[in-house]
Amino acid sequence: MVTETPKRRFRVPSRLVLQEWLEGYLFASPFIIGFLAFVAYPMIYSIWLSFQRWNLLGDPQFIGFANIIKMFTAERANLSLYNSAYYTVFAVPLQLILAFVLALALTQKIKFRDVYRSGFYLPIIVPLVAWSVVWQRVLHPEFGILNNALSWVGIPPQPWLFDPQLAKPAFVFMSLWMIGRMMVIFIAGLGNIPPTLMEAASLDGASAWKRLWHVTIPLMSPLIFFNAVMGIINSFQSFIPAKIMTDGGPENSTLFAVLNIYNEGFKFFNMGYAAALAWEFFIIVMLFTVVQFYMSKRWVYYED
């Protein structure tokens, strides 16, 4: 005998349920109002603005797809995406590796371990503007301590922020100063690895390297994935150091995508074009993130 599942009928919520809904929305209303006013509305407005020419002074003028076409053909726009991609491709893997190695070191039982952990985390709480100014001095071609240190090993002074070939590597190098956040997350993850697994691996004769490669890293893969996603998003959004230190120079070699959007909007007053660039950038970062999530199925290990 086949039993039919009775169709669900729409039932008007009871007064109690409605009251609960109302209370829930009431508590969530500050966030909802703020989200609609300061996130959703500006995003929708910026889509409309992408099809306008507007210099902030007069009224916006509809120009069709001109901004979209310019976005794909303008040399500066494409260069800014290349610069951001270059920075991301080199900076993020280096940050991940260094943060992971530091985390491994700082989970060992060593003296003053907490001091080292605090020290490596400190750059995170320094305002970006402040450390940009500091690094500008560190990288000074004549008086900078980096060139001073290099001179000890016979390397002549380098015009770090004044040579288009060296400026981006200098920024990649600087980004390693900010690995504290990744490191702290890795330390938390390493602390959650069951010691019994490591003991079992040891008993089975696994060397330290094999334990690392076959036990630690797979168990840490969700956090590595998280740090990779956040690292890529953050490095794509890099703006303040380039704005403060080089303003996109020399010769646009550090003109990152967000800086280009800022310049188009607030320096050249091409607000419509800047809005189009912002949406292009958003879509690219979203695509990157989706691809990462898709690829994560192949290498990220979840216990469940």
Partner 1 sequence: MTDKKSTLSRRQFLILSGQGALALAVLAGCGQAAQPAEEAPAEEPAAESGGEQAEPAAAPVELEFLAWGDPADIEAWDKLSSLYMERNPNVTVKVTSVADPNNNFYPKLQTAVAGGTPPAVSSFQGWEWQIYADNGVLAPIDDYIDRDSFTAPYPEGIKSIEDSTARNGKRYLIPLQLGTMVMFYAKNHFDEAGVPYPTEDWTMEEFLDIAQKLTDTSGDFKKFGMQANGSWFRDIHWIRSTGKQEFDEIVDPKKALFNQPEIVDMLQLMAYDVYHTLKIAPTPADMEAGANAIETGNVAMKYEGAWFFGRLNSPELREEGKQIEFDVLLMPQGADPERPHRGWAEGVALPQSEKVEAAWEFAHFMGSEEGDKIYAETTGRIPNSLDLVESFWIPTIQERFGVQNGQAFIEAFKRSEVDVVGGVPRSKMWSEIVKPVGYDPMLGGSATAAEVLPKVDEELQKVLDEYWASQ
| Contacts to partner 1 from residues 65-104, by CB under 8 A | 76
Query: According to the binding rule CB under 8 A, does residue 27 interact with partner 1?
Result: yes
Q: Which of 263, 276, 279, 281 binds partner 1 (CB under 8 A)?
A: 263
Query: According to the binding rule CB under 8 A, does residue 162 interact with partner 1?
Result: yes
The Cα 167–Cα 236 span in angstroms is 17
Minimum CB distance to partner 1, residue 66 (Å) = 10
The Cα 295–Cα 304 span in angstroms is 18
Q: CB–CB of 242/259 below 8 Å?
A: yes
Minimum CB distance to partner 1, residue 175 (Å) = 21
**Dihedral sign, CA of 40, 45, 46, 48?**
positive
Minimum CB distance to partner 1, residue 145 (Å) = 13
Minimum CB distance to partner 1, residue 14 (Å) = 17
Binding segment for partner 1 (CB under 8 A), chosen from 55-63, 87-95, 104-112, 287-295, is 55-63
Q: Which is nearer to partner 1, 161 or 187 (CB)?
A: 161
Q: Which two tokens stand for residue 36?
A: 């609609």
b/e per residue 19-38 (b: at least 16 CB within 10 A): eeeeeeeeeeeeeeeeeeee
Q: CB–CB of 257/81 below 8 Å?
A: yes
Query: According to the binding rule CB under 8 A, does residue 132 interact with partner 1?
Result: no
Q: Which of 3, 4, 11, 30 binds partner 1 (CB under 8 A)?
A: 30
Binding segment for partner 1 (CB under 8 A), chosen from 82-90, 197-205, 207-215, 267-275, is 267-275
Q: Which is nearer to partner 1, 31 or 112 (CB)?
A: 31
Q: Which of 96, 107, 123, 159 binds partner 1 (CB under 8 A)?
A: 159
DSSP percent split of the chain into helix, strand, coil, nearest 5:
70, 0, 25
The Cα 243–Cα 231 span in angstroms is 20
Helix 271-299, helix 66-73: angle, nearest 10: 60
| Contacts to partner 1 from residues 180-219, by CB under 8 A | none
Q: CB–CB of 272/67 below 8 Å?
A: yes
Residues that bind partner 1 (CB under 8 A): 23, 26-27, 29-30, 53, 55-58, 61, 76, 136-137, 140-143, 159, 161-164, 248-252, 263, 266-269
